A and B are shown apart, each in its own frame.
Chain A
C-alpha cells in the first residue's frame, strides 16, 4: 500500500467535511474518489498533500507518516489542484524550471528532463511560449507533467478534467494512463464524472457527505447491484396508473420525468415481457424503450437515492476580479 488512510476526519467549525474514512491505495494503481460537489474530495486531497491538518486520524504515504514526516511525504508526492496553478506570465519551460528548483533540482538537471516530459504530453514545440497563451487542455497537460519533474511516487489530481470539453477530456485520460504506465506513478484522482471513474480508474471509492459508500473496481461495484438492467421507457399520457402498478409488482422506479421513467429490472427478458403485457392491459402505449447495463451513476443512486449532478462550480466574483487584475 502506497497510501494508507486511517480514520481520517476533518471538521470546519463543526461542519464535518470528511467523516472518519479509512482506505488504502496500491502502488501503481489509478485510484479514483467519485462523489458530488461538497462530498469531501478536495478536503481529503488537501489533507493527504499536507495542505490541511486533519481534525483526527492520519495517513501514511510511501511509508511516511503525514503528520510526523511531512517533508519526506512532500518530496514523494505531486499535486495538481482543481484550479490551474501555473504562472501565466512565464513560459512552459520556466514553470517547469521553477517547479524543479523547488524540489532541490539544479537548473541544468531540470533542463535535461524538460524535453522528455513535454514530449509525453505533446507540448514540446510550445516549450518557450507563455503559458497564458495555452488552451485549458494544454494547461492541464502541462500541469500533469510539471508534477512529475521530481519523480514523485504518487500524484494527486483533483478533478483533472473539470471544465474541459469531452474530446479534450478523453485526451487527458490517455495522458493520465500514459503517465501511470510509462512513469510508474501511482495516481489518486477525484472526479464527479461517472464516465471518468469508469474509464480511467482501477479502483473507485464512492464518497458522499464525507463518508465512503463503496469501493472497488467499477465492474465489481456495478455487479454488487445485482444482475440488474435498467429499462428506460417513455409512455403516452396518462401513465400514473401504469407506474404505480409496476411498483406494486415489485419493480423499483429510479426516476420519473413526466412519462419517462427509469426502471430497475431484474432480468431484462422477463421485465420487457411484463412491461408490454401491462401496457396492453392498461391501454397505455410505449413510445420508446431501451435497456442498458447499470453505470456507476446507478451505483451512486442506489446508495444515496439521488444522482451526482454536474454543478460545474462557476467562478466566484472575487476570482473574476482577481483574474482581471492579474492580466
Chain B
C-alpha cells in the first residue's frame, strides 16, 4: 500500500512537470510525425520484389502453364499453387498478397480464339505491393495476349478483399503513430533520466525515504503514460486527416494497448541506454545508430518486400517491425488474431525483457545505501 502510494507520488510529479511544459509535448506529438508524413509521404520510391501470390488453377492445359510461367519470370512474383480454401486462408493471414484464379477451360477458350477472365483477389493494405503486383500481372497478360494475336484475350479482374481503397497515407499512418511512441520514449525515458541526474532532481528522491523500486516504477510508468499521450494525439490527428481505422472503437483501444506494451519496451530500452550514458552527445549517437534505423527498418515507410535481401534480417530482429505491423493490421485490415498474435507475442516479450533490463540497470546506477 505504502509502496503504491510512493509510486504514485513519483508518477504524479513527473506528469505534472510534463503537463506544465505545454510546448514540448505538442511539438513531440505533432510536429515530428507531420514532418515525417510530408517528407516521406511524397517521396516514396523503391522497387517491390518477391511478392507472394497464391495461384488457384483449374486448368492444366498448355496455355495456362505457359501463362503462369511467364508470370513467374523475373523477381516480382513468387507463385504458390494452392487449393481455393488454402488460398483464402493465406490471403487472410497475410501469407500472400493476392490470389490469382485461372478458370477451367482457360486453354480451350483461348485456342478457339475466345477471351478469358482471370480474377485477382488482393490484399491492398500495403498499397505499394498491391500496385506492383497488379501492374506486373496486367503487363504479362497483355504481352501474353499479344503473342496469341488478340490484344485483350486475357482480361484481369482485380478484386480487393482486404484494404479496399487504402492509400499511401493509410499505409504510412500506423508506422508514424508507433514512431511517436518510439521517439517520445527516448525523451520521456532516457533523456529525462539523464537530465534528472545532471540537475540533481534524482537526488531529491534518493535522500527521501521513498523506496528505490517506487522511484524506478513511478518514473517508468510516467514515461509510458507520456508516450501513450503523444501516440494517441498522433493517432487522432491521423484520423482527422482521413486515415482508416477499420475496426472502430475496439481497434482504437487495441492500438492504445499496443502503445502501452511497446511503450514499456522502448522506455525500458532508453532507460538502459541512459544509465550507461554520461554525456548528452552520446544520446544523440544512440539516436542515430539505434533509434533511427529501428524506425527506417520497421516497414513503417516502405514495405519490407522493397528492402534489399541483406537488410531483411535486420527488419526481422527489429521489435519496431512488429509494433508497426500490428498497428497497421488493426487499422487497415481489422482485428485478425491469427496474424496479430505473433506481433503481440514478440512485442510483449520485448517489453518484458527491456523493462527488466531497464529497471535493473537504473537501480544499479542509483547507488548509495540500499
Contact = CB atoms under 8 A, between A and B. Distances in A.
A70 B199 contact: no
A103 interface: yes
Contacts, number: 90
Interface string B20-60: 11000000000000000000000000000000000000000
Interface stretch (A229-237, A303-311, A317-325): A317-325
Contacts of A74: 207-209
Interface of A: 46, 49-53, 66-67, 70-71, 74-75, 77-79, 81-85, 87, 89-90, 94, 98-99, 101-104, 130, 318-319, 321-322, 325-326
A83 B205 contact: no
Contacts of A322: 194-195, 198-199, 280
Contacts of B13: 87, 90, 98
Contacts of B199: 83-85, 319, 322, 326
A84 B205 CA distance: 14
Contacts of A71: 209
Contact of B195 (A49, A89, A103, A325): A325
Given A49-B207, A52-B367, A70-B370, A87 B200 contact: no
Contact of B204 (A77, A85, A319): A85
Q: Give the interface size bracket for B toward A.
A: 20 to 34
A85 B200 contact: yes
A102 B12 CA distance: 11
A75 B367 contact: no
Given A83-B199, A89-B21, 8 more contacts: A49-B207, A50-B207, A50-B368, A51-B206, A71-B209, A74-B207, A98-B13, A322-B195
A318 B194 CA distance: 10
B210 interface: yes
Contacts of A325: 191, 195, 280
Given A85-B200, A94-B16, A318-B279, A101 B9 contact: yes
B240 interface: no
B290 interface: no
Interface in B329-370: 367-370
Contacts of A98: 9, 12-13, 16
B196 to A, nearest CB: 9
Contacts of B289: none
A66 B370 CA distance: 10
B147 interface: no
Contact of B20 (A84, A85, A90): A90
A57 to B, nearest CB: 13
Given A51-B367, A89-B17, A99 B204 contact: yes
B201 A51 contact: no
B209 A103 contact: yes
B209 A75 contact: yes
B203 interface: yes
Given A51-B367, A90-B20, A98-B9, A85 B280 contact: no
12 contacts: A46-B368, A50-B206, A79-B203, A79-B207, A83-B199, A85-B200, A98-B9, A99-B208, A102-B210, A103-B209, A104-B5, A322-B194
